[in-house]
Amino acid sequence: MFVDLLKRLQPVRALPTPLRWLLSALIVLLFFSIRYALDVALGAYPYLLFFPAILIASFVFDRGSGFVAVALSTLLATYFFVTPRGDFAQGDVGEVLAVATFVLVGGLLAAIIEALRHTVEELTNTNEALEAERAEVRRSHALLDEVMNGVADAIFVKDREGRYVHVNAALCRLFGSRPAAIVGRTDRDFLPADEADEIERVDREVIASGKIQLIENTLDVVTNNRRAKRVYLFTIAPWFDAGGTLVGVLGTARDVTERRVAEDALRLSNEQKKLLLEDINHRVKNHLQSLSGILSVSEQRATSLAEAKNAMAATASRLAVLGRVYDRLHLTGEAATVGTADFLGGLCSDLSASLVGVRPVTLSCSVEQVELDANQAVSVGLIVNELLQNSLKHAFPGNTAGEVAVRLARVANDLVLEVADTGAGAREVRENGTGQRLVRALAQQLGGSAKWDGPPGTRVTVRFPAPRREQGAARPNLTVVPSTVAH
């Protein structure tokens, strides 16, 4: 109430000083009139009613208004109410002491009231400033909380004993608890002992060194309402108070599980690509050496220009098979593989377009999808290429109609490749022919065997073990197997 009254009177204290002194004089005159009217009743107390005037003037106004009231009250009381009246001359020592006492008490009263009023105003202004600062601090804290709670990373502050002082919403979700249940507790209350030990060790190192540390930890935390292992990147920094004393640590924890998985996948992919490149280099070298050997044999057997041309055409076809293998080469786990369906289907389509044309010959391809490594794919492709070349060139002389079928299927733990035709023409593939020797050598490379049946027609069956990874065995690392052909 007193403070509110001071605030209401503030405009009055803002008046010019002469005007405030004038108003103080008017207040004194008002009380002088009352004292004059009560002269008989208050004859023995000439100064009594002037004290309220001094109090009011000192309280309401400023800049010495109370002292003006004391001076004017002294003059009026001495002149009108002290014997002899109408004269400032004092009759005895008592009167002089009474005037001196009134001046002293009035002056002290005015000084004390003005000093108290100034003190109250300063305290009021200081309190208002503090309230404004507290309100600003509350707004800042609210804004900081909103920012911290809006961040996906967990943010925390801990004291030197590892007790949480402040946490954000992300950390609450991580621990599956409320802020009030986390503050004042340690990591051991929410994490397994080994994980808490590692975090506490890093906290102690930061406190001892006063330096920031970045670490990765795998934590058993609450994710989607269930506990799961997640990888977090922690940034731990020392926490200093306003006086520069280290009082704890503060930090953030970012979930980097997906990034870690992506990095591992990228690293594995790079390792696989490196292995694939090394494997391809060795395979290309080995396969070209094999084809070079075949070309050398053909060169030695060629006795005419026509035979040399045929040998060159056969070699070109075999190189095309090699190119098709590497065109369809891809990574499966830790191995470089070729899918048989696309590979042999494409090979049959190419040979049909180049060798069948408009002839009344049907070429069908029924291939079960199997993942072969590059060495196996080259051998299978060369076998199919050799047998189809022979059938399409020699099994149907003239415009003879017929069918050629290519089949690959799994039988128990083996793969069975079959190339069969319904033709009745002359065969280039004979017991000691180059083509048959090539097919047998390639079948042996696959760890299997080749068998010829017919007539009528010709059926060649190549049986070899299926890849181990297709049988559920552990996938092998990439290896280089020298590719050779028996001549």
Segment 45-83, tens digit of pLDDT:
777 888 888 888 888 887 688 888 888 888 888 888 776
Alpha helical stretches, state H, 302-373:
305-327, 340-351
| pLDDT attached to residue 186 | 94
The set of residues, in sequence order, having a beta carbon less than 8 Å from that of 251 and lying 6+ positions away, is 155, 156, 234, 235, 236, 237
Asked whether residue 145 is domain-assigned, the answer is: no
Asked whether residue 441 is domain-assigned, the answer is: yes
Pairing between strand 330-332 and 335-339? antiparallel
Reading the block at residue 288, the tokens are: 């070209």
Is residue 457 within 8 A of residue 420, CB to CB? The reply is yes
Is residue 366 within 8 A of residue 405, CB to CB? The reply is yes
Using the structure block, give the residue that is written with the tokens 């079948």. 443
CATH number for 384: 3.30.565.10
Same domain? 390 vs 250? no
Rounded to the nearest angstrom, the gap between the alpha carbon of residue 470 and the centroid of all alpha carbons in its chain is 39
- Which of 147, 185, 150 lies closest to 164 in space, CA to CA? 185
Asked whether residue 70 is domain-assigned, the answer is: yes
Reading the block at residue 155, the tokens are: 């943010």
Is residue 234 within 8 A of residue 251, CB to CB? The reply is yes
Asked whether residue 138 is domain-assigned, the answer is: no
117-168 confidence digits (pLDDT tens): 788 888 888 888 999 999 998 898 888 888 888 888 999 999 999 999 999 9
Same domain? 121 vs 179? no
The set of residues, in sequence order, having a beta carbon less than 8 Å from that of 434 and lying 6+ positions away, is 297, 298, 301
Reading the block at residue 226, the tokens are: 């269930």
232-270 confidence digits (pLDDT tens): 999 999 999 988 999 999 999 998 888 888 888 888 777
Same domain? 68 vs 209? no
Position 394 pLDDT exceeds 60: yes
Asked whether residue 111 is domain-assigned, the answer is: yes
| pLDDT attached to residue 472 | 38
Same domain? 126 vs 199? no
Asked whether residue 193 is domain-assigned, the answer is: yes
Q: If you average pLDDT over each of 19-28, 32-41, 304-313, which comes out highest? A: 19-28
Mean of all residue pLDDT scores within the chain:
79
User: CA 29, 34, 40 angle in degrees (round to 5)?
Assistant: 130
Domain range for 212 is 151-255
Reading the block at residue 230, the tokens are: 């997640």
Reading the block at residue 49, the tokens are: 């009613």
- Which of 457, 326, 294 lies closest to 390 in space, CA to CA? 457
Is residue 324 within 8 A of residue 340, CB to CB? The reply is no
Question: Which of 228, 255, 282 is the last residue before a domain boundary?
Answer: 255
Same domain? 84 vs 159? no
In angstroms, rounded to a whole number, what is the distance separating the alpha carbons of residues 347 and 231?
48
Average pLDDT for 420-444: 71
Asked whether residue 16 is domain-assigned, the answer is: yes
Is residue 9 within 8 A of residue 60, CB to CB? The reply is yes
Average pLDDT for 322-338: 62
| pLDDT attached to residue 406 | 92
Q: What is the percent of the chain with per-residue pLDDT over 70, rounded to a whole number? A: 74
The set of residues, in sequence order, having a beta carbon less than 8 Å from that of 242 and lying 6+ positions away, is none
Asked whether residue 49 is domain-assigned, the answer is: yes
Same domain? 388 vs 458? yes
Question: Which of 255, 285, 316 is the last residue before a domain boundary?
Answer: 255
Same domain? 402 vs 287? yes
Same domain? 118 vs 174? no
Is residue 326 within 8 A of residue 463, CB to CB? The reply is no
Q: How far apart are the first and last CA of the chain?
A: 119
Number of structural domains found in the chain: 3
In angstroms, rounded to a whole number, what is the distance separating the alpha carbons of residues 263 and 46?
100
**Cβ density class 357-387: b for 16+ within 10 Å, e for less:** eeeebebebebeebbbbbbbbbbbbbbbbbb
Position 314 pLDDT exceeds 70: no
In angstroms, rounded to a whole number, what is the distance separating the alpha carbons of residues 395 and 320?
23
In angstroms, rounded to a whole number, what is the distance separating the alpha carbons of residues 110 and 264?
85
In angstroms, rounded to a whole number, what is the distance separating the alpha carbons of residues 366 and 416?
12
Same domain? 104 vs 232? no
Same domain? 352 vs 461? yes
| pLDDT attached to residue 187 | 92
Same domain? 359 vs 409? yes
Question: Which of 226, 255, 284 is the last residue before a domain boundary?
Answer: 255
Q: Is 255 in a helix, a strand, or coil?
A: strand
Alpha helical stretches, state H, 216-339:
257-301, 305-327
Average pLDDT for 214-237: 84
In angstroms, rounded to a whole number, what is the distance separating the alpha carbons of residues 53 and 280?
112
CATH number for 198: 3.30.450.20
If you ran DSSP here, which 8-state letter would residue 20 be given? H
Same domain? 315 vs 449? yes
